[in-house]
Chains A and B, each alone.
Chain A
Amino acid sequence: MQSNKLSKREKYEVYKYMAPGFLIYCFAIVIPLLVCLYLSFTNWKGGPVIEVTGVKNYVRMWNDKNFWLSFVHNLQMIAILIFTQIGIAFLISLFFRSKLIAMKEFHRRIIFLPCVLAAIVVGMTWQLIYNIDIGIIATILKRIGHPELIISWLDDPDLVILAICITLSWQYIGQFVVIITAGMTNVDQSVLEASEIDGANSFQKTVHIIFPLIRNTISVCLIMCISGCMKIFDIIFVMTGGGPGKASMVTALYAYDNAFRIHKIGYSAANAIGMVILSTLLIAIVRLLLYGRKKNA
């Protein structure tokens, strides 16, 4: 009987080809993470002197209401973006299955275009869109005779997170459309045809057949959405800087502020490690909800 195990020589070949990528991964991800972990136990402010302070940074972070406020903002964004990014992407993907849409390839490319734009371009564009003087929303409202409806989206603490989520949805919906469309393509047509014969309408097909069959794809999208929201930094940095006040402060930006505005690099490292732990917990919870305790999910 033939074994499917690799011989020593074959293993060596595999490791040889994996080595460069693995080394780059270690250099870019693993080593900085370990250095960050070390710094999180110090009170380093930059310069040659580093003093180890034990878990003092973590105790401070546990009691730091600004850190937890930032985390709550991350959670708010996750809650909104799950529906606006994944939900709308799912609906758009369904439309792409419809015969009513012409030039599907063209639409797919257009919808994906914002994903490749740099965050600074997206941030500045939407900052202009939201501007109450020269922004397109304000201009249209003035033209139709309703200037009283102009809202300063980025200055209202109650609306700023929503405004940022609209920007992020616009930017990344295309990414999820591509992923979900690919997942839907793998749905067996015969199952759908059989359901049509049984009298299922479009809504029933979507809810009872398509959605369950692309569950794994949706869970990948959820994990991508959550991890993206937890590390969000660039758009918020450009659009609001975490303001007004702390209304759009998120954990990544809070860590940045601590490092580069307040020069508490040790504490900022602790914030970063805290982000890693919280992100891992969130994703674990999502997987538990989706798959229960199945080992091979």
Chain B
Amino acid sequence: MKKILSVLLALVMLSALCVSAVADEVVEFTFGNFSVEDQAWHLAMDAAIEQFNADHEGVAKIINDRLPPASYNLNVATLGASGDLQTLVFVTGDLTNEYAQTGVIQPLSGLIAENGIADKISPDYFVEHTNNGEIYAIPAANSYFGFIVYNKEIFEEAGVEQFPTTMDEFYDACDKINAAGYIPMGMGDKDLWPADSISFSALVNRYCGNEWYENILAMNGEANFTDQCFIDALNAYLKIAEIGGFNKDAASIDNNQRMSLYMNKKVAMISAGQWECSTIHNDDPELEAISGIAPWPGPVENEAAPASIEVSNAWGIALSSKATDEQKMYAMEFMANYYVTEEFARTVIENTSTSTAWECEYDASKISPLVVSLFDNAPSWTACKNWDSTLPVTVKAAYQRGLQSLIIAETTAEAIAEEMQWEYEDLQ
């Protein structure tokens, strides 16, 4: 009797599940992102999603599947490997390429042309998310990376009157700053990306230039990682570590901890990304008032590109291959009418001093003066790519681990170049 009752109960529960599944006609889809409450874009994201859900009540609903940045990358990597990505998902350029090749995200070229998104965003911004001529992700931000934010008062105290323009002047400045009792440059590379993404990518372009890097990406044999320009760039970076230019714990603290060093005036400068200017703007306006912006210095001779700065569309929004037709329709409607909008862009820039990949009118008085300075000066600098979001992942892994050893002066430029070249040749 007990067995019969148990079986009946199980059947009732199962049928209740089926009924609820059938009765639910709302098209739900997930949006994977890292805009949690202490992250820069959450105001704009939350507003856009809430508005969409309100306008489509009973018809469609976005589930805001957000995680803190530290766990987001692992989440995306795991879901991508299993082919279970969220319907809409934030991905970096290198992941866009990987997932395009494995087929877990779908091409968007036709969709974004149909719904007008392509008209709002410059074609150049899609480059990092294009694979074999097809666009696979809609760029979210258009940011400057790899410029130096420096404390003018510490520089003056150390006797450095102008920000250096050559690496020799930079080393000299580091010596003076060290003598004045400060650490020259804050670095926090525990997570492997800062030493590359907001630092070296700009420096290396001054030695090698955009054409060299385009040849690397094209794998046409015209450029290799064992080329002298790249080794010279690595040696220039290594010398900063050798003269005590970085904090001693550069490899074991993260990017936020290194920002704390700058905020606490223990370091004279940091190599930064645009989003970090809003941190200084919000947390310490007095420090912001004495901070300046400068490009990375370059070689004394044979410089390949003057005053380089990374212009990056690192993050993009991709659409899962498993999205149903209804989910795809509503997802693209959300992107076209709620996300890629002037209102969204204005909320982002006025609250975070970061820029979306599409333009808008905004109140310049609300954004960080450092970013205003960046907007005024950066267009005259050489734009270059962010290696973190454009290098093939296998080469990037060797490169970033190598840089982490380099910033504590525990490896050589040649060793890194050799390992990167090995991975690069393996790809070809």
Q: Give me the interface of A with B, judged by CB distance under 8 Å.
A: 45-49, 127, 130-133, 152, 154-157, 239-247, 257, 259-265
Contact string against A for B residues 89-110, beta-carbon threshold 8 Å, 1 for contact and 0 otherwise: 0000000001101111000000
Is the CB–CB distance between A244 and B83 below 8 Å? Answer: no
Q: Give me the interface of B with A, judged by CB distance under 8 Å.
A: 74, 77-78, 80-83, 98-99, 101-104, 189-192, 248-253, 261, 266, 393-394, 397, 401-402, 404-405, 408, 410-411
> Max chain B CB contacts within 10 Å: which of A130, A152, A244?
A244
- With a CB–CB cut-off of 8 A, which chain B residues contact A240? 190, 252
- With a CB–CB cut-off of 8 A, which chain A residues contact B98? 45-46, 263
Is the CB–CB distance between B410 and A245 below 8 Å? Answer: yes
Is the CB–CB distance between B401 and A155 below 8 Å? Answer: no
> Max chain B CB contacts within 10 Å: which of A130, A155, A239?
A155
- Contacting B410 at CB < 8 Å: which of A239, A244, A264? A244
Can you list 12 A-B pairs with a CB-CB distance of less than 8 A? A131-B249, A152-B248, A155-B250, A242-B401, A243-B190, A244-B405, A244-B408, A247-B410, A263-B81, A263-B98, A264-B394, A265-B81
Is the CB–CB distance between A47 and B83 below 8 Å? Answer: yes
Q: Which residue of B lies closest to A242 (CB)?
A: B401
- With a CB–CB cut-off of 8 A, which chain B residues contact A257? 397
Is the CB–CB distance between A49 and B404 below 8 Å? Answer: no
- With a CB–CB cut-off of 8 A, which chain A residues contact B248? 132, 152, 155
Q: Which residue of B lies closest to A239 (CB)?
A: B252
Knowing A263-B77, A263-B98, A264-B394, the reply to whether A46 touches B410 (Cβ < 8 A) is: no
- With a CB–CB cut-off of 8 A, which chain A residues contact B192? 241, 243
Is the CB–CB distance between B82 and A46 below 8 Å? Answer: yes
Knowing A155-B250, A240-B190, A260-B78, the reply to whether A47 touches B102 (Cβ < 8 A) is: yes
- Contacting A47 at CB < 8 Å: which of B103, B404, B411? B103
Q: Which residue of A lies closest to B422 (CB)?
A: A65
A171 CB to nearest chain B CB (Å):
19
Q: Which residue of B lies closest to A259 (CB)?
A: B81
- Contacting B191 at CB < 8 Å: which of A154, A241, A260, A265? A241
Tell me what chain A mostly uses at the interface: helix, strand, loop, or mixed. Answer: loop
- With a CB–CB cut-off of 8 A, which chain B residues contact A264? 394
- With a CB–CB cut-off of 8 A, which chain A residues contact B408? 155-157, 244
- With a CB–CB cut-off of 8 A, which chain B residues contact A261? 77, 393, 397
Is the CB–CB distance between A243 and B103 below 8 Å? Answer: no
- Contacting A155 at CB < 8 Å: which of B74, B77, B249? B249
- With a CB–CB cut-off of 8 A, which chain B residues contact A152? 248-249, 252
Q: Which residue of A lies closest to B253 (CB)?
A: A131
A48 CB to nearest chain B CB (Å):
6
Is the CB–CB distance between A45 and B102 below 8 Å? Answer: yes
Is the CB–CB distance between A244 and B78 below 8 Å? Answer: no
Knowing A155-B408, A262-B397, the reply to whether A48 touches B191 (Cβ < 8 A) is: no
Is the CB–CB distance between B80 and A46 below 8 Å? Answer: yes
Is the CB–CB distance between A260 and B402 below 8 Å? Answer: no
- Contacting B81 at CB < 8 Å: which of A46, A131, A155? A46
- The docked-state distance in angstroms from the alpha carbon of A263 to that of B78 is 9
- With a CB–CB cut-off of 8 A, which chain B residues contact A133? 249, 261, 266
Is the CB–CB distance between A244 and B102 below 8 Å? Answer: no
Is the CB–CB distance between A46 and B102 below 8 Å? Answer: yes
- With a CB–CB cut-off of 8 A, which chain A residues contact B249? 131-133, 152, 154-155
- The docked-state distance in angstroms from the alpha carbon of A48 to that of B102 is 7
B306 CB to nearest chain A CB (Å):
32
Is the CB–CB distance between A46 and B83 below 8 Å? Answer: yes
Q: Which residue of B lies closest to A240 (CB)?
A: B252
- With a CB–CB cut-off of 8 A, which chain A residues contact B190? 240-241, 243
- With a CB–CB cut-off of 8 A, which chain B residues contact A157? 405, 408, 410
Is the CB–CB distance between A245 and B402 below 8 Å? Answer: yes
Q: Which residue of A lies closest to B250 (CB)?
A: A155
- With a CB–CB cut-off of 8 A, which chain B residues contact A49? 102-103
B223 CB to nearest chain A CB (Å):
22
Is the CB–CB distance between B405 and A245 below 8 Å? Answer: yes
Known: A48-B102, A244-B410, A245-B401. 7 other contacts (CB 8 A): A47-B80, A47-B101, A152-B252, A240-B190, A240-B252, A243-B192, A247-B410
Is the CB–CB distance between B411 and A245 below 8 Å? Answer: yes
- With a CB–CB cut-off of 8 A, which chain B residues contact A155? 248-252, 408
Q: Which residue of A lies closest to B394 (CB)?
A: A262
- The docked-state distance in angstroms from the alpha carbon of A132 to that of B78 is 34
- The docked-state distance in angstroms from the alpha carbon of A49 to that of B394 is 20
B398 CB to nearest chain A CB (Å):
9
- With a CB–CB cut-off of 8 A, which chain A residues contact B83? 46-48
- With a CB–CB cut-off of 8 A, which chain A residues contact B266? 133
What are the 10 closest A-B residue pairs judged by CB atoms, nearest first? A47-B102, A245-B405, A244-B251, A46-B81, A154-B252, A260-B77, A152-B248, A155-B251, A47-B104, A152-B249
B188 CB to nearest chain A CB (Å):
11
Is the CB–CB distance between A48 and B103 below 8 Å? Answer: yes
Knowing A157-B410, A244-B252, A246-B401, the reply to whether A47 touches B393 (Cβ < 8 A) is: no
- With a CB–CB cut-off of 8 A, which chain A residues contact B411? 245
- With a CB–CB cut-off of 8 A, which chain B residues contact A154? 249, 251-252
Q: Which residue of B lies closest to A163 (CB)?
A: B252
B192 CB to nearest chain A CB (Å):
7
A62 CB to nearest chain B CB (Å):
15
- With a CB–CB cut-off of 8 A, which chain B residues contact A265? 81
- With a CB–CB cut-off of 8 A, which chain A residues contact B99? 46-47
- The docked-state distance in angstroms from the alpha carbon of A247 to that of B402 is 11
- The docked-state distance in angstroms from the alpha carbon of A173 to that of B126 is 54
